[in-house]
Amino acid sequence: MSRRAYRGVALAALIFLVVQVGALALVPTFFEQGYQTVEDPTDPTNSLLYIGAIIVMTAFMLAAFKYDLDQLIRLVIVFTSGLLAWYVFAALVPNGLVAIALSAGVSLALLVYPEWYVIDAAGALMGAGAAALFGISFGLLPAIVLLSVLAIYDAISVYKTKHMLDLAEGVMDLRIPVVLVIPTTLSYSLLDDDFARDANEVGDGENATDGGEPAGAVDAETADAEAADADTDADADADADESDPGDRDAFFIGLGDAVMPTVMVASGAFFSEAPSLGFGALPALNLPALLAMVGTFAGFSGLMWAVMKGRAHAGLPLLNGGAIGGYLVGSVVAGVPLVSALGLAPYL
């Protein structure tokens, strides 16, 4: 893997870390401010309702792209970004008007200047807020059910039905924080990327990671015309196919890849019987949550290894699997009975 690829992977890892640490820091405050969204967070049917909502939203977005309602999707996501930002700022900023102004600023920046660092900053803010909200609303069993089912759904939608690839192709050009943009060069600009890429090489914009093509790829029709004009273009295409995928200018990771495993981290920190590790800035952090973070990054490492081979991959099987596995190991090491760690104690 090239040096520029390592820089990109390091940036992606940093964003994942910001999302996870941010969610852990927000968990106590979100609970104190009454942000828990369900009456019974231990009810596993909460997970099924959320999974159903994801499927419905996916179908809605695919239909919107089919009927050229792209800008409607963009406005919905930008509004959601501002709403999640408000949750975070309202928890951190005492003055309500300032919190509203800051969250409005996030939405405005996404509308006016959606450069990659604006997208990533908004995505990290949204991700931390969403993971904290779900973390305090999904108990241990619901969180494990949620992550397990979404991992299976992600694999099917990327490798079998491939509809997430179609979804990703639609959201890429909208420049919204549904995907995290990971540049590998300082000169990369998301605003200059025309996203003329093969749909089969675009990753899931919500829950998978994009193998992608180098940013600024040549338009497919233009490339075909040039190939017809000169035989040498075919040789150039062959050389391009053999190029190192790590040399691309940017790759893309679904925001859901950062959020979903962090739900396990936040849920483990909030609901586990394990004692706090006593970190002042992160009072909710305990051993199960810490090892869920470690497990997430173990899955992340495997995912990045696969992505650098140049193909689209479902992110959640590795990431969610690592988070759940790390959480369970941390629970056992912390002395929490496995039945309690799985959230099964109320049913036995």
Residue 181, beta-bridge partner list:
252
The letter for the amino acid at 79 is F
Q: What is the pLDDT of residue 62?
A: 85
Q: What is the pLDDT of residue 249?
A: 82
The runs of H, that is alpha helices, within the chain are: 3-32, 45-66, 70-92, 96-112, 116-137, 140-155, 163-172, 220-229, 232-241, 255-271, 287-307, 316-333, 338-341
For position 7, what pLDDT does the model report?
87
Q: Kind of pairing, strands 179-183 and 250-254?
A: antiparallel
Q: Give residue 231's pLDDT.
A: 42
- Amino acid 107: pLDDT: 95
Rounded distance, CA 19 to CA 253, Å?
A: 14
* Best CA proximity match to 248, nearest among 217, 205, 222, 224: 217
Q: Cα–Cα distance between 148 and 259 in angstroms, integer?
A: 14
Using 50 as the pLDDT threshold, list the residues of the chain that sit under it: 196-208, 210-242
Q: What is the pLDDT, as a whole number, of residue 215?
A: 34
